[in-house]
Amino acid sequence: MSSETKQILTTDGIPLEVSLKKAEKKNKIKAFLLVAPLLLFLVITYIFPIGDMFMRSVDDRMVTNMLPKTFKAMEKWENLEELPPEEVYRGFYEDYKLLVEKQEHGKLGQRLNKEKNGFNTITKRLFRQIKRNKIDESISIKDQINKIHKRWRNIEFWLAIKRTAPPYTMAKYLKGMDMYVASDGSIAQVDEDRRIHRILWLRTLEIAFFVTLFSFFMGYPIAHLLATLPMKYSNLLMICVLLPFWTSLLVRTASWMILLQQQGVVNDFFVMIGLVGDDNRPEMMYNKVGTYVAMTQILLPFMVLPLYSVMKTISPSLMRAGKSLGGTPFVAFWKVYFPLTIPGIGAGCLLVFILAIGYYITPALVGGASGTLISNQIAFHMKTTLDWSFASAMGLMLLTGVLVIYWIYNKLVGVDNIKLG
């Protein structure tokens, strides 16, 4: 390259290359500044809090913070086959006395009880001794504590304290899958009759899957009809899809509650056509039937709209060409039309499935006990048990699932196909 071509100058005498780079950089900054307010807002109010959820779900510094002297002394506890040395006992005693003054000893007892069953009893015993000033600090604390309860002489209980030392724990995630860390450090399953969370995960997946399936089988024909009818009819029919889409979720749930109740319109109709007797009307609400019916109707527009927008772009002459080349209408449909609608099917199914998997309001109102999903459980722990770290852990497990589905979808179909309305 000769030096002349390098030295193309702008009217200001600056090399063109430099000037162009400068202008491009300026444009980049300009574009970024436009996005910056929203990006900053979302990062602060939304992305960081999701990170905060993660911190809360794994955070396990409570015991460490409550028992600083104990953990300091435990560094000297070398032979883990024997009871810890005097310093550990003394450290624990001093920490615990401080907690009693701050009235936080109850929290510690409950937390340690989760680690080793029966712990709460012996910390309460110790509490009573401290309240009565029965402990003489000038002689061996180890001997005095060991006399309070035989469990204090059991090494298992001291090992349980030691186990809480790491600042982070996966216990909440394990609990979300009905597992726990056993006293020997291995991961164990909870008893079969107490595995509630696994049932909820499976039920959530099952309901999301079937709602997606029902929506697809109901949405495909009407999207096809809407896309092939002349404009003036299809616009009118489109209202049937768009009006529910724009109507409040609670209004639609309320109408299903009225329709499905035992004295409701659907049951009235069944009685009228003689399908069921007046005295044994089936229960259609507060069970899975109610959840399926209501959720399918509520999520159906999210299936129809992407399908419609894809089908609208398919030229009718393709089907005619298929038929004129000797295909029956079924073959023409299956070999020509259907493959072209796959992006729409993907987008619709993704939308419905992701919305269904996080559903909360409708199942809570029409689902009853057998219609509760994982989201209801998260809300329950947020509001009733106030176990926010467990709610966070389950929320993040759900989020991971959704992101995996989204990623697979993006690999298979591409996210650009999502359209609104």
Partner 1 sequence: MALPSYTETRYRIWHYIYLTICTFVFFFLIAPLFVIFPLSFNAEEFLVFSEGMKNLDPDAFSLRWYKDMIYGTKNPWGLAAKNSFIIAIFATIGSIILGTLAALGLSSRHMPYKGLIMATLISPMIVPLIISGVAIFFFMAKAGLAATHTGIVLAHIILGTPFVVITVTATLSGFDHSVTRAAASLGSNPVNTFMKITLPLILPGVISGGLFAFVTSFDEVVVVLFLAGLENTTIPIQMWTGLREQLSPTILAVATCLILLSTLILISAELLRRRSERLRGINR
Binding to partner 1 by residue 299, rule CB under 8 A?
no
Residue 300 CB, nearest approach to partner 1 (Å):
6
Give, for 359, the enclosing helix (H) or strand (E): none
The one among 85, 106, 118, 264 contacting partner 1 by CB under 8 A: 264
**311 lines the binding site for partner 1 (CB under 8 A):** no
Residues 122, 127, 129, 130, CA torsion sign: positive
Tell me if 242 contacts partner 1 by CB under 8 A: yes
- Which one among 263, 280, 315, 317 touches partner 1, defined by CB under 8 A? 263
With the C-alpha atoms ordered 89, 91, 97, 99, is the resulting torsion angle positive or negative? negative
* Site for partner 1 contains 56 (CB under 8 A): yes
Long-range contacts at 162-168 (CB < 8 A, ≥ 24 apart)? 162/74, 162/77, 163/115, 164/60, 164/63, 164/64, 164/111, 164/112, 164/115, 165/63, 165/64, 165/71, 165/74, 166/60, 167/59, 167/60, 167/61, 167/64, 168/58, 168/59, 168/60
Asked whether the beta carbons of 406 and 354 are under 8 A apart, the reply is: yes
Residue 287 contacts partner 1 per CB under 8 A: no
Tell me, residue by residue from 169 to 188, as one string, x for binding to partner 1 by CB under 8 A and - for no binding. --------------------
Helices and strands (H, E) in the chain, number of each type: 23, 2
For partner 1, which stretch binds (CB under 8 A), given 24-32, 103-111, 127-135, 160-168? 24-32
The residue from 3, 12, 30, 369 that contacts partner 1 (CB under 8 A) is 30
Give 6 or 312: the residue with its C-beta nearer to partner 1.
312
Question: Least distance to partner 1 from the beta carbon of 19, Å?
Answer: 16
Interface with partner 1 (CB under 8 A), residue from 9, 18, 34, 404: 34
CB of 346 vs partner 1, minimal distance in Å: 15
The size of the interface with partner 1 (CB under 8 A), counted in residues, is: 89
The yes or no reply on residue 165 touching partner 1 (CB under 8 A) is no
Q: Does 240 bind partner 1 (CB under 8 A)?
A: yes
Pick the piece of the chain touching partner 1 (CB under 8 A) from 1-9, 69-77, 92-100, 224-232: 224-232
Q: Is 35 in the site for partner 1 (CB under 8 A)?
A: yes
Q: Assess 396 for contact with partner 1 (CB under 8 A).
A: yes
* Segment lying near partner 1 (by CB under 8 A), choices 61-69, 187-195, 240-248, 278-286: 240-248
CB of 390 to partner 1, least distance (A): 11
DSSP 417: G
Tell me whether residue 355 is exposed, middle or buried, using C-beta atoms within 10 angstroms of its C-beta: 0 to 12, 13 to 18, 19 or more.
Answer: middle
399-416: b (≥16 Cβ within 10 Å) or e:
eebeeebeeebeeebeee
Q: Terminus-to-terminus CA distance in the chain, angstroms? A: 54
User: Considering only 8-16, 68-76, 149-157, 246-254, which stretch makes contact with partner 1 by CB under 8 A?
Assistant: 246-254
Q: Does 276 bind partner 1 (CB under 8 A)?
A: no
- Which is nearer to partner 1, 88 or 364 (by Cβ)? 364
Q: Is 285 in the site for partner 1 (CB under 8 A)?
A: no
CA distances from 49 to 43, 46, 167 (A): 8, 5, 20
341 binds partner 1 (CB under 8 A): no
Q: Which is nearer to partner 1, 76 or 312 (CB)?
A: 312
**DSSP sequence for 89-109:** HHHHHHHHHHHHHHT-HHHHH
Asked if residues 394 and 381 have their Cβ atoms less than 8 Å apart, the reply is yes
